[in-house]
Every structure is written in C-alpha cells, then in structure tokens.
Amino acid sequence: MTPEAAKFDSLERELEQSRRTYKQLFEAVPSHICVLDRELRILEFNELYRRDFDVRPGAQCFEACKQRRTACPECLVARTFQDGSTHSSEETLTTRDGRRLDLVVHSMPIRDEDDRISAVMEVFTDITEVKRLQHELALMGRAVAGMAHRIKNILMGLEGGVFVANTGREANDEETMAQGWDMVERNVKTISRLVRDLLYCSKEREPEFQADVCLVEILKEVCAVYTKRTAQDRIQLVVDEQDTATPGRFDPDGVTNLVRNLVTNAIDACRFDPDPAKAEHRIVLRCRNDERGAAVIEVEDNGPGIPVDIVEKVFVDFFSTKGTEGTGVGLLVVQKVAEEHGGCVTFSTEEGHGTTFRVKLPQVAANDRDRERQR
C-alpha cells in the first residue's frame, strides 16, 4: 500500500469513528433532538424523540409532536433559517401515549461548508418535573397564606369570646359569660378541625378497615353533631333513609371524616348564599348501592351552587370559594379518604340552585385489601 493510500485509509477510519461517536452522542443526550429542513420536514431524530412522538418518513415537525396541520405561528425553526440565530421558548407537547411534557425548546442552525444554513436542529429539554414542583410550591404558598388569614380570624374570635366572658364575669352577668364561652368553644372547635385535617392530609395513614360498617349510621352521627349549628342558621339537615347502602367493609373513622367535611362545606355554602329569596336551606345526606354494589354517599344542598367559571378548579389543591373563610383542606381530606377506599369523588352543580357531591366507595374484600397493602 502506497503512503498516500495508507493516509487515505487512516483518514477514512477516523471519519467513520467520528460518525460513530457523533451517533452515540446524538442518541445519548437526555433531550429530544430532531433536525429539520426548510419545509420543516424531519431529517434526523434521536431515540428519545422517536419513542415519544409519532415520527413517520417525510413527516413535518408540527404533525409529529403537536398534532397540527399547519406550522406554528411563532416557529423557532423558521426564525433560525431566516436570521441564522439561536432561538428558544417554553412549550407544552403531547406524546404519542397522551403524556403532556413541559419543554424548553432551542433551535440552532446547521451550516454547510459554504457557511450556508442547510438545516436547523431543535433540542427539547424536559422541565415537566420543575414545572410540577413550581406549581406545588405556588399552591403551598397560597394555602399557607389562606390558612394564616383563617387562623387570624379564629384568633380574633377567641379574643372576642374571652373579652365577652370577662365582661360578664366582672358584671356578674351569667348570660354574657355563657355567650362569651360559647364563642370560645366554637372557635376552638374550628381551629381543632383545621389542625386535624392538615395532619390527616400531611401524613401517610393506613386505613383501619372493619367489616359490617353501616354507612347510614355514620350519616346519622354526623347529622346529630351539626343539627344544633344548622338550626341556628335556619338550615335543615336530614338523612334520607329511603334507599340505604348495605353494611360493608370500610374505614369508619375515614368515612366519618369524609362526611363531616362534605357536610361542613355544604353548611358554609348555605350560610354564604347571597340569594335573599331563600328563607331556609336544606342539606340531605344519602347512601345507596350502585348497580355494581359499590356504596355511594351523597351530600346535597340547595345553596348557591358553584359558578361555571370555577367548576374546573373544584378538585385543584386547596380550592375554596370562601376566600379567607376557607382553606380548601376539606376537599383534600374527602379525596384522600375516597382514594384509600379505591373510590372517587364527583359532583354536579347548578348555579343558584345547589350542589351535590357524590363519593363512590367500592366494596373491597379483606384479602384483596391485604394484597394491596403488601404491594
């Protein structure tokens, strides 16, 4: 072999090695990468891009990862072809299996030997987890602020009760003392309930399932606890016993907590109802079995209903319609108890006429629940 041939052979091996190295790097980068021509057709892509998006020969990028029929209005690739600069933006894309990804997208030019832009490479960096953490931190901040306002109001109520009780004691007025003490008791119960709900949501809890739990009895017990309060607010609180659920295997403490939170939410909804035409309000508690034998608990009120523009926010963390009077923790407790039973929470509402929350609790056999715990 001549020296020239040997040198050529060596250069060819180096070129092939460079290609292999480039391909390995191209596939190993933990980002979605694709290379596009001026018609936005996908020329090359790495394994991660192929796995998550619907890539077909000759497909255009907006078809593959955005399910669009036309190019995006603010296309980064088109801008890079136009000015030769790197551009970036935040986008949300949907994968072929329906997952939503929050991504930072960078478009950068690829130039040929004449320094002309022959293609544009897009690199997508996944920031979905970062966005989720940002969302949770924002929710936590709103929840802390809301609870701080709520606790401040409770403390003001306690201070007011103490003042009234002391005034009655100094004047030897038993009626005023009793009134002040009633204010103190009411606010102590409120803050105790708030703390219990927060503790319930913040820690992992193993539900204590028991056999032959009668749900209608739980409804009656909760109803008895709140009857005095609702009577003062001219709210009728009743248990409908026409079609009751059969006893089953449930966590009685968890279900009691669930019903209590739904009832207090319904009471507050009625108390805050702005409709002057409703002289009285009514809250009805029911439990029944559906066609598959699952228990269904319903709490129906004829309060103001939930406005259409916030219906979709009801199951967002710490959602509340009561401003500083609510923290939204109650619905989190309801959801947690339902999930512990393998069930779900839904609702129906009509603005101005009321809301009904429904909790489905499937019947779970003891051996099935034990297997779930072992997982």
Q: Which residues of 90-129 are buried (b: 16+ CB within 10 A; e: fewer)?
A: ebebeeeeeeebbbebbbbbeeeeeeeebbbbbbbbbeee
Can you tell me whether residue 160 is helix, strand or coil? helix
Angle at 364 between CA 363 and CA 369, to 5 degrees: 165
Mapped onto helix, strand or coil, the DSSP state of residue 282 is strand
* Comparison of pLDDT for 365 and 57, the residue scoring more: 57
Q: Where are the beta strands (DSSP E) in 214-343?
A: 235-239, 248-250, 281-289, 295-301
What b/e readout covers 154-177, taking b as 16+ CB neighbours within 10 angstroms? Answer: beebbeebeebbeebeeeeeeebb
Please state the φ and ψ torsions of residue 336, each to the nearest 5 degrees.
-65, -45
Angle formed at CA 91 by CA 86 and CA 96, multiple of 5 degrees:
115
- Tell me what pLDDT residue 355 has: 93
pLDDT in tens, 160-206: 999 999 999 999 999 999 999 988 988 887 777 667 666 665 566 67
CA–CA separation, 362 and 251 (whole Å): 12
- At 11 the pLDDT is 66
Instruction: Copy the structure tokens of residue 32.
Output: 């979605």
pLDDT of residue 237: 94
Judge whether residue 292 has pLDDT over 90: no
296-318, pLDDT tens digit by residue?
A: 999 999 999 888 877 666 665 54
Section 85-113 average pLDDT: 90
Q: For residue 67, what is the DSSP state?
A: -
- Tell me the pLDDT of the chain averaged across its residues: 82
Task: State both tokens at 119.
Answer: 């293609």
Highest mean pLDDT among 15-29, 225-239, 289-303: 289-303
Work out the percent of the chain whose per-residue pLDDT is above 90. 37
Contact 91, 71 (CB under 8 A): no
Half-sphere exposure of 268 (CA within 13 A, CB side): 18
pTM, to two decimals: 0.52
Comparison of pLDDT for 12 and 357, the residue scoring more: 357
Banded model confidence at residue 328, pLDDT cuts 50, 70, 90: low
Could you count the other beta carbons within 10 Å of the beta carbon of residue 221? 14
pLDDT band at 365 (very low <50, low <70, confident <90, very high): low
